[in-house]
């Protein structure tokens, strides 16, 4: 699943849509409808190794100066959104599990509770806690 999706491929985020009709639209500049949509699009950006999108969707207060995709790329195996928790109109949390493998290693299940903020009508990833 780690290959970069074409516009007609199923979206790697797991929703039953094509990449073009789902996360591809956000990668092309459309705003995310909610924090969950942004989180899904960020997962797909990791699949695509799209550092520019990841940085643009990261809140300025916590955005890293650089994203390094050097080294063996993970093979992303799937995303499972466990919970989308709106806090108020401009704050939300999303809990998810992303599965991946590096080389011939065992499957890793990364579970995170991520925090998001909306500013000027656009959602941004702030930070998250691995659980």
Give the integer Cα–Cα distance in Å for 114 and 95. 6
Q: Was domain 23-130 assigned CATH 3.40.190.90?
A: no
Of residues 113, 111, 110, 99, the one with CA closest to residue 35: 113
Q: Per-residue pLDDT for 108 more than 90?
A: yes
User: For the chain, what are the domain ranges?
Assistant: 23-130
* pLDDT given at position 104: 86
pLDDT tens digits, 48-85: 999 999 999 999 999 998 888 887 789 999 999 999 99
Q: H or E element: which one contains 100?
A: strand 91-101
- 55 backbone dihedrals φ, ψ, rounded to 5°: -65, -40
Contact 23, 41 (CB under 8 A): yes
**89-99 average pLDDT score:** 98
Q: How confident is the model at residue 3 (pLDDT cuts 50, 70, 90)?
A: low
Give the integer Cα–Cα distance in Å for 128 and 42. 13
| Distance of alpha carbon 49 from the chain centroid | 11
Q: Is 16 exposed, middle or buried (0-12, 13-18, 19+ CB in 10 A)?
A: exposed
Give the integer Cα–Cα distance in Å for 12 and 28. 16
Q: How confident is the model at residue 87 (pLDDT cuts 50, 70, 90)?
A: very high
* pLDDT given at position 1: 46
pLDDT tens digits, 14-26: 999 999 999 999 9
Give the integer Cα–Cα distance in Å for 25 and 41. 9
């Amino acid at each position: 699943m780690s290959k970069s999706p074409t516009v007609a491929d199923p979206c790697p985020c797991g929703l039953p849509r094509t990449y073009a009709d789902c996360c591809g639209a956000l990668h092309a500049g459309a705003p995310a409808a909610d924090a969950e949509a942004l989180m899904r699009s960020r997962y797909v950006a990791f699949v695509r190794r799209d550092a520019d999108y990841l940085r643009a969707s990261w809140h300025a207060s916590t955005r890293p100066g650089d994203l390094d995709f050097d080294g063996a790329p993970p093979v992303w195996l799937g995303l499972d959104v466990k919970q989308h928790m709106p806090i108020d109109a401009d704050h939300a949390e999303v809990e998810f599990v992303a599965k991946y493998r590096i080389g011939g290693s065992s499957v890793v299940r990364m579970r995170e509770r991520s925090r998001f903020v909306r500013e000027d009508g656009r959602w941004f990833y702030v930070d998250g806690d691995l659980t």
